[in-house]
Copies of this chain bind each other. A is one copy, B any other.
Amino acid sequence: MTLFRQLYDTPTRRFTYLIGDPDSREAVAVDPTPEGIVLPLLAMVADFGLRLAYLLCTHAHEGEATAVPLMQSRTGARVVAGERAPIAADRQARHGDTLTFGNEVIHVLGTPGHTPACLSYLWRDRVFTGHSLLIRGCGRTDLTDGDAGTLFDSITLRLLMLPGDTLLFPGHETHGRTVSTIAEEREHNPCVAGRSRDEFITHRSSR
């Protein structure tokens, strides 16, 4: 049975995800960014006898602390990030790319707006949206070359177009929720539900 684990870092309110293929023992981690997640994540990888093939970064901010280089040096995994993301990537991925590990395939979705290089990753019926689409929220657009109109397009034309029962696993959460679905966010996400692109941009710039 394919292994899937969600980890939460309390100080940064960020999620990290581990996906492991039991046959090949290959695994990927999505956003192993918080320093506090390194030891629990490495323990989990060791307990399951896995080898990390990829560290998938949804995004990065210039100058922000990140445990990704430490995880890279500790595991030998290849770092994947969007083009021009401010992180030392072994592979720059683009919308439409696929990544394989073991018997598993991950589809790369370009979801810029929070940053120009934001990516989301689709694995089976699960999408990892970083800080682009959150549970009942979305990423800020007033940092690091954020752009509200671009974010609206990414959310509505790329993420909310996925099948409704796709499980949404965000990169950040402050209200204790751990998962949502695309159908739920289409209906209940206050950033975009019933809101036009212009209204979204106006609301973002007024914050």
* Interface of A toward B, CB cutoff 8 Å: 1, 5-10, 13, 16, 36-37, 39-40, 44, 47, 165, 175-179, 184, 187-188
Contacts and interface: CB of A to CB of B under 8 A. Distances in A.
Nearest to A13: B10
Contacts of A187: 47
Contact of A9 (B6, B176, B179): B176
B177 A7 contact: yes
Scoring A7, A10, A13 by chain B CB atoms within 10 A of each residue's CB, the highest score goes to A10
Given A8-B176, A44-B177, 16 more contacts: A5-B178, A5-B179, A6-B178, A6-B179, A7-B176, A8-B8, A8-B178, A9-B176, A10-B10, A10-B176, A16-B176, A36-B176, A37-B176, A39-B175, A40-B177, A178-B178
A29 B1 CA distance: 28
Contacts of A40: 175-177
A132 to B, nearest CB: 21
A185 to B, nearest CB: 11
A188 B43 CA distance: 10
A132 B179 CA distance: 25
Contacts of A8: 8, 176, 178
Contacts of A5: 177-179
A184 B40 CA distance: 14
B47 A178 contact: no
A108 B10 CA distance: 31
Nearest to A175: B40
A5 B176 CA distance: 11
A165 B1 contact: yes
